[in-house]
């Protein structure tokens, strides 16, 4: 009887723990990725939420192209310093359509829209470190 109660309690609590991890991952994506890289272009939030070895990976013929986080941040800072910079033009909408968490690993599918038109489908990989969740890689499809 005690084993049965213990098992029922465990099965009741496990989804709550998984849900907390999913919320942590979603919050990190919102802050570091959506607002950090796009809407607010807050590179400090990007540095906090992305692993220092993060890269965007894409296929170039049969080669794998790698765009590291430091180059991405450098590009954002450069565009923000240009006289024509308009933060309203950087504004996008998004939908986090999937988040999967297994222990200390997670993946997320994010749909990115500009002016109501989908421009990207992004797939983020995340890992949980001693300091918390970090985005470690991105692959994407451009709808342009």
pLDDT classification of 49: cutoffs 50, 70, 90: very high
Q: Looking at residue 9, what is its pLDDT? A: 45
In three-state secondary structure terms, 104 is: coil
Say if pTM beats, i.e. exceeds, 0.75: yes
Q: Quote the tokens at residue 113.
A: 């829209």
Q: Which of 37, 122, 120, 45 is nearest to 72 (CA)?
A: 37
Q: How far is CA 46 from CA 5, 31, 34, 141, 144, in A?
A: 44, 8, 10, 21, 25
Burial 39-54 (b: 16+ CB within 10 A, else e): bebbbebbeebbbeeb
Q: Looking at residue 86, what is its pLDDT? A: 66
Q: What are the pLDDT digits (tens) for 22-39?
A: 999 999 999 999 999 998
pLDDT classification of 85: cutoffs 50, 70, 90: low
Evaluate if residue 15 carries a pLDDT over 60: no
- Higher pLDDT among residues 91 and 138, named by residue: 138
Backbone φ and ψ for 102, nearest 5 degrees, come out as: -130, 105
Domain layout of the chain by residue ranges: 2-142
Helix (H) or strand (E) holding 142: strand 132-142
CATH of segment(s) 2-142? 3.10.450.50
Evaluate if residue 89 carries a pLDDT over 70: no
């Amino acid at each position: 009887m005690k084993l049965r109660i213990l098992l029922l309690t465990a099965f009741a609590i496990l989804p709550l723990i998984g849900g907390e991890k999913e919320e942590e991952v979603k919050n990190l994506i919102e802050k570091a990725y959506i607002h950090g890289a796009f809407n607010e272009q807050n590179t400090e939030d990007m540095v906090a939420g992305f692993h220092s070895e993060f890269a965007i990976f894409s296929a170039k013929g049969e080669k794998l192209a790698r765009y590291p986080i430091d180059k991405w941040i450098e590009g954002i800072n450069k565009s923000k310093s240009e006289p024509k910079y308009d933060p309203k033009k950087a504004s996008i909408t998004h939908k986090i359509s999937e988040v999967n968490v297994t222990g200390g690993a997670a993946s997320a599918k994010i749909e990115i829209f500009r002016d109501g038109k989908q421009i990207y489908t992004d797939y983020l990989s995340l890992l949980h470190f001693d300091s918390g969740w970090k985005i470690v890689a991105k692959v994407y499809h451009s709808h342009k």
